[in-house]
Amino acid sequence: MLQRWHDLLFIHWPVSVEVIRPHLPGSLHIDTFDGQAWVGVVPFRLSGIRLRNCPPVPGFSTFPEINVRTYVHAGEKPGVWFLSLDADSRLAIAVARAWYRLPYFSARMTVSSDDGVVRFFSVRHRPGPPGVRFVGWYRPTGEAAPAEPGTLAHWLTERYCLYSADAAGAVYRAEIHHAPWPLQPAEAGVDANALLASHGIDPPREPPLLHFAKRLDAVFWSPERVSSLCALAELY
């Protein structure tokens, strides 16, 4: 699957490992940077979503999304674990829930951009508790550049797979390929953010770490069960 990401903001906070552990299946390991776990809220827009060798489908290929994520590894391969993903596309949600086993929620969203300032509004309406909101604005404040390997920014963003799990707790991995993130420093104002609280996570008091990316193209592969991948690796 191909997709393009626009006007993306990484909002990251450090949290304790104990905060993250209840949200993961037992076979996944929490990834840490200098012993610290992290949680992120990421608003952005998607476009150009299509299966390989297929044209974009109207009503499926362009919509806004905001996700809550943390960082994990299995078999020493670092990746992303999504606590939730809110999107304004019922068709995309149905496909992602069934195919990628991701915890998507339907939400009403509006996104606008004026003079470099992105304004993002989201309110969840199903399934689960309604009224989970995010309201804020953000903009870049500097030049774009890839993050240096070994830095926290690189550790947070340069991840090339996602993990998910089915109802029985079996873990799956989907590979992702894209160019290095063209990160920019950013500033933001958040008027409402109930996304972390919806997972029982108290919003950290310290200011978040912010990074902006104007655009990035990505390729997704189908998910495969992690236990099968590990068994195959052992043969070689």
Mean pLDDT, contiguous 10-residue spans, the chain (236 residues): 95 96 94 97 94 69 94 94 95 89 96 96 82 96 98 98 95 97 98 95 91 97 79 37
pLDDT of amino acid 73? 96
Q: Which domain holds residue 158?
A: 2-234
> Full-prediction pTM beyond 0.85?
yes
pLDDT at 56: 66
Q: Please, what's the b/e burial string for 83-117 (b: 16 or more CB within 10 A of its CB; e: otherwise)?
A: bbbbbbbeebbebbbeebbbbbbbbebebeeeeee
Which CATH number belongs to the domain containing residue 214 in this structure?
Answer: 2.40.400.10
Total domains, the chain: 1
* pLDDT at residue 234, rounded to an integer: 39
Sign of the dihedral defined by the CA atoms of residues 204, 209, 215, 219, in that order: negative
